[in-house]
Structure 1
Amino acid sequence: MDTLHLVILALIQGLTEFLPISSSAHLILPSEVLNWPDQGLAFDVAVHVGTLIAVVGYFRKDIVHLVTAWFVSFKGGQTSDSRLAWYVIWATIPAGLCGLIFSGFIEEHLRSVLVIAATTMIFGVALGMADWKGKRTTPLEQMTLKQGLLIGCAQALALIPGTSRSGVTITMALALGLERQAAARFSFLLSIPLIVLSGGYEALGLLEDSTIDWSDLFWGITISAVSAALCIHFFLKLIDRIGMWPFVVYRLILGVILLLIAFG
């Protein structure tokens, strides 16, 4: 792979995986606008591994507490950490099931530039409305199972290209009254099992591939991991100050650009 292509695609994945702006909408731009060749399944898996490393590394202390509390919960007694761990597990199921059932249909019928443009704008407006109308009073420790399941069902919508997994989960969390920090943190924690499941599924297709360039994969993992970690850090640092509207405006502009590409 060309070095410039590798760096840009890895940066796109790292920066857009956790921002509410849709990685699929951005990844389509280089191929559509610049006629870049498809980067291949191996590179897709690699950059997802990078983002997984970033989110696990950033939330490593939280993850240790959640996993420990989850195991202790089997002995009786629930804590806020054990409940949150169960919510992450239950909220992952809808997207996992929908992925198994509908992935073929989505891949065949919903990956057009027009669909991505529409979902980029529609779910961008939904994000803005949720941030505007949401009460933003519920901390993560007070989240309920019902809220977790509804956020998990929203995550299943992210199978549609252009929706944005982080965008739609944060949107639902805000609409249900969670604080911005709580919405973002639960969205990021929720990404971990989904990236593991989807990345593992895609990796199965690489078992017999002898043409893999491991150097490209190493740099793809490294660049996406560093950029994703920086993205998570600054997003959580700034979210209460700037809110979601900068991302809403950005999504609307991006959607218009994609529409021009679709009809150009």
Structure 2
Amino acid sequence: MLWYIAIILGIVQGIGEFLPISSSAHLILTRWFFDWDPIINQLGGNIDIVLDVALHVGTLLSVLIYFYQDWLQLLRNGLSTGIKTREGKMFWYLVAATIPGGIAGLALESTIENFVRSQVLIIAVGLAIMGIILYYVDKKAEQIVSFEEITFRQAILIGIAQALALFPGVSRSGITMTTGRLLGFSREAAAKFSFLLATPIIAGAALKQTPGIIHNIANPLFLVGTLTSAVVGLISIGFLLKYLQRNNFAVFAIYRLAIAALVVIVYMVRGA
């Protein structure tokens, strides 16, 4: 049983889904760095599907647990008072902002992921470019918009930007936080809106795999991957929200550039 692979990928997913570093890129690169694909494929069956479903379910649980009070208020007000209250407005802002990314995901996700899985240099380029953009925008942008002041227009713009996360190395949280900062959000507001916006997207990805969840819910590998990504995801969310109260995004930009450089070096050393 691939306990160690499930645990490590769960850690990578839990960190990468919420920090602006691209979970999909890191999952692909982790498997590439350690040459795990032959090991996973050798076992046959549906191990790849089990791992993929587990990681999505785990990060969905982490964001629901961390923001359960926020979501209870958003749902209660959104469904009962519509846009008459601030929480009601925010609920419908999030619904509307989810649509562009949802449409793009349904149309292009499988095609892009299948193409990119073996294109590690493209992933490296995406990591580097987005790191530079994240650093520049965060350094230049003002912090004048709090979470409570977010408008419908701003929410939609972030939702449209979220669709760009389908490209390798961009990162869903990275592009949404960067767009938020470009619009003048405080760092904490950009992160919180990004996390709330992640909930329906991650939930949608999990719902697409409902048959896989039902079929594998008792699989020990599924349980290990789910639990690991959920726990690490909770820690990542709490860490980033606290970190951004006093710090900027520079460390994540530097990390992106470092990983991109490492990928290029390893690729050249291996000669493939």
**CA apart distance, 1:105:** 3.1
State the Cα RMSD in Å: 1.8
**CA apart distance, 1:30:** 2.8
Are positions 1:25 and 2:54 aligned together? Answer: no
Are positions 1:234 and 2:239 aligned together? Answer: yes
Q: Which moved more, 1:125-134 or 1:39-48?
A: 39-48
**Do the aligned partners of 1:42 and 1:203 also contact (CA within 8 Å) in 2?**
no
Residue of structure 2 in register with 1:259 after alignment: 264
Residue of structure 1 in register with 2:85 after alignment: 79
Are positions 1:248 and 2:253 aligned together? Answer: yes
Q: Percent identity?
A: 39
**Do the aligned partners of 2:22 and 2:169 also contact (CA within 8 Å) in 1?**
yes
Distance 2:58 2:143 in 1: 31
Are positions 1:201 and 2:218 aligned together? Answer: no
1:151 to 155, 158, 183: 158
Residue of structure 2 in register with 1:97 after alignment: 103
Residue of structure 1 in register with 2:222 after alignment: 217
Distance 2:267 2:84 in 1: 51
C-alpha distance 254-93 of structure 1, shift in aligned 2 (>3 A):
same
Q: Which moved more, 1:158-167 or 1:107-116?
A: 107-116
2:135 to 128, 141, 148: 128
Cα offsets for 1:42-91 (capped at 9, x unmatched): 211111111111111111111111111101224xx522111111111011
Are positions 1:51 and 2:59 aligned together? Answer: yes
**CA apart distance, 1:213:** 6.7
SS state at 2:100 partner: helix
**CA apart distance, 1:207:** 7.6
**Do the aligned partners of 1:92 and 1:193 also contact (CA within 8 Å) in 2?**
yes
**Do the aligned partners of 1:10 and 1:47 also contact (CA within 8 Å) in 2?**
yes
Q: Which moved more, 1:107-116 or 1:242-251?
A: 107-116
Residue of structure 2 in register with 1:9 after alignment: 9
SS state at 2:142 partner: coil
Residue of structure 1 in register with 2:124 after alignment: 117
**Do the aligned partners of 1:88 and 1:148 also contact (CA within 8 Å) in 2?**
yes
Could you tell me which runs of 5 or more consecutive residues in structure 2 were left unpaired when the two chains were aligned: 41-46
* 2:199 counterpart letter in structure 1: I
Distance 1:226 1:207 in 2: 19
Number of residues of Structure 1 aligned to a counterpart in Structure 2: 260
SS state at 1:158 partner: helix
* 2:85 counterpart letter in structure 1: T
Distance 1:263 1:209 in 2: 41
SS state at 2:244 partner: helix
* 1:143 counterpart letter in structure 2: I
Distance 1:178 1:58 in 2: 21
Distance 1:108 1:175 in 2: 31
1:181 to 188, 202, 206: 188
For normalisation by structure 2, the TM-score amounts to: 0.90
Cα offsets for 1:104-163 (capped at 9, x unmatched): 431343341111111101111111112111111101111111110110011101111211
SS state at 2:51 partner: helix
Distance 2:63 2:187 in 1: 18
Q: Which moved more, 1:221-230 or 1:26-35?
A: 26-35
Map 1:159-170 onto structure 2 (within 5 A): 159-170=166-177
**CA apart distance, 1:29:** 2.6
Cα offsets for 1:169-189 (capped at 9, x unmatched): 000000000111110000000
Residue of structure 2 in register with 1:190 after alignment: 197
* 1:72 counterpart letter in structure 2: S
Could you tell me which runs of 5 or more consecutive residues in structure 1 were left unpaired when the two chains were aligned: none
For normalisation by structure 1, the TM-score amounts to: 0.92
